Amino acid sequence: MRDPQLSFLETLDGTGTASRVTVPDGALETGRTRLWVTAIVFALSFLIVAGRLIDLTVFTDGALSAAARSGPAPAAVASRADIVDRNGVILATSLPTASLYADPGDVPDPEQTVTRLAAVLPGLDRRRALARLRSSASFVWLHRNLTPKQQHAVNRLGLPGLQFKRSERRTYPHGRAAAHVLGLTDVDGRGIAGVERFFDRMLTGGGAPVRLSIDLRVQSLLHRELAAAVDATSAGGAAGVVLDARTGEVLAMASLPDFDPNRPAETPPASRFNRATKGVYEMGSTFKLFTTAMALDSGTVSLTDGYDARQPIRVSRFTIADFHAKKRWLSVPEILVHSSNIGAAKMALDVGAETQQDYLRRLGLMSAAHVELPEVAAPLTPSRWREVNTMTVAFGHGIAVTPLQVAAATASVVNGGVHRPATIIRQPDGVVPAGVQVLTADTSRTMRGLMRLVVTHGTGRNADVAGYRVGGKTGTAEKQVGGGYSGDALVSSFVGAFPIEAPRYVVLVVLDEPTGTEETGGRATGGWVAAPVVGRIVSRLGPLVGLAPDPAPAPGGGKARLASYAPDGGAAREWPVAFE
């Protein structure tokens, strides 16, 4: 009988003779099991690979095929924090993008590669790209910050040796509106100007947005009115500031010409110059505000005092004369209202050089502004403060400061006499930064009344606005050209505050080398070209910030204190000079 533990298989040997091979039944079953296990493992592996391929080709964006060819994915780029305005509106943000690079050693045909790339990347610098692909370097950039559409187009070319690196592109949704405040970044995302540079460390690596004091609505209004004024007067440039008189917050600041931070390569270097904080100008008669304030505050003069303005003053080779000459005795209010250089110079002499410098220093006009921007210039002051300097500085010549400094100093004059440095960082609601008392509250009230008189009776009439009581001061200064002053090159300005009985905002407009128009009768002084711009800004700014116009404002302001004096040496007259 056959052994039940054996199985017999018939085989043929090499001669065709059948032979019998005996195999144990247990070994056969073991072999079958191993075959099944191996088959299952291969089937599972195949299913995993097939599933992954389906995921890559069907459910994932086709752009990943380029990443698959480019090797290991680069590390994720840290996002740069946003910059927002005081209301949370985004002013600057970062968007994900891709940049094209290559290892020249992996590119077999540089010329053909560049030709095909140029067909889908119109901005590609063909000569530079070809030079880089022919270099011996192991890494070269070919095109930075591609759009998704451009990346897809390059990917479809299937060119060997090209790879993408994930990165970010800084974007400014509102273009030119706040260009000089925001600044810009370089291609590697580092801040190189404006807020982007000043707060570069804080912005790098993400985190909470940097909230500015800028109000985009007010910024757009200021930018639009400045641009219209430049066009109308053919000015070479302009600067403007809107300041919160109570807190020192800058609600708007613009400089023209400007630039689009989204297109830095197209920006002429001159357009990046911030005239509001970097430009220093002799600001002309706006300085009479500070001269009058220091004279009243120091007790040097009273409202009933005055000076003889009949004849020009001759000092050495200089002659100080009045542009709007009255050729008579002028009271202190009239010196400001009619913008008398002669009266201001004599008033400053009585104040004295030392006291004059002390007040200017406390008003922030003798050192650079401490605003949070890298583009800040220090004022130009006389190296030796002689008698003639004391007189010329009184009416804004012989000293050059930035427009932002004039706006901040004017806020100090009207807000109760407290100087607070200008800031572009939003202050918490209800918080008023600490300041320095530089004028008495009574002097500030008196100055507000005098500034209103400038608009109602003096050189600032074109800044008057129905429904809002504006007070301010005009300024016109001849520019230095070739070692002397040119009557054809002016810096024309107006600085105003409103509502003048309790100022909320200070508005300054400066036009650089404007020309007269038919509407101004050919005149290009501050009262004719800058004051109307401030008036238009006020008329639009008031409703924008919730200040309803008064349909019937009282003449000269609200409840006013009157002063009596005899401007012509004859009968006394009364004008409102301070608001209660």
Strands 210-211 and 83-84: parallel
Please report the beta strands in 232-295, taking only residues with DSSP state E, as ranges in sequence order.
237-244, 250-256
Using CA atoms of 312, 281, 416, 342 in order, give the dihedral in degrees to the nearest 10. Answer: 0
Which secondary-structure segment (H or E) carries 246?
Answer: none
Strands 505-512 and 237-244: antiparallel
Token readout for 550 is 């008064």
Distances (CA, A) of 393 to 13, 68, 151, 357, 414: 125, 70, 60, 10, 21
Tell me if residue 170 falls in helix, strand or coil.
strand
Tell me if residue 475 falls in helix, strand or coil.
strand
CB contact burial 28-54 (16+ within 10 A = b; e otherwise): eeeeeeeeeeeeeeeeeeeeeeeeeee
Please report the beta strands in 44-154, taking only residues with DSSP state E, as ranges in sequence order.
83-84, 90-102, 140-146
- Of the candidates 361, 372, 354, the one whose C-alpha atom is nearest the C-alpha of residue 436 is 361
Q: Name residue 542's amino acid.
A: G
Radius of gyration from C-alpha coordinates of the chain:
38
Those residues with Cβ within 8 angstroms of residue 86's Cβ, 6 or more apart along the chain or in another chain: 211, 212, 213, 214, 215, 249, 251, 426
Tell me if residue 281 falls in helix, strand or coil.
strand
Tell me the HSE value of 377 on the side-chain side, using a 13 A CA sphere: 17
Catalytic residues: 285
H helical segments located in 183-254 = 194-198, 200-203, 216-233
Cα–Cα distance, 497 to 505 (Å, whole number): 6
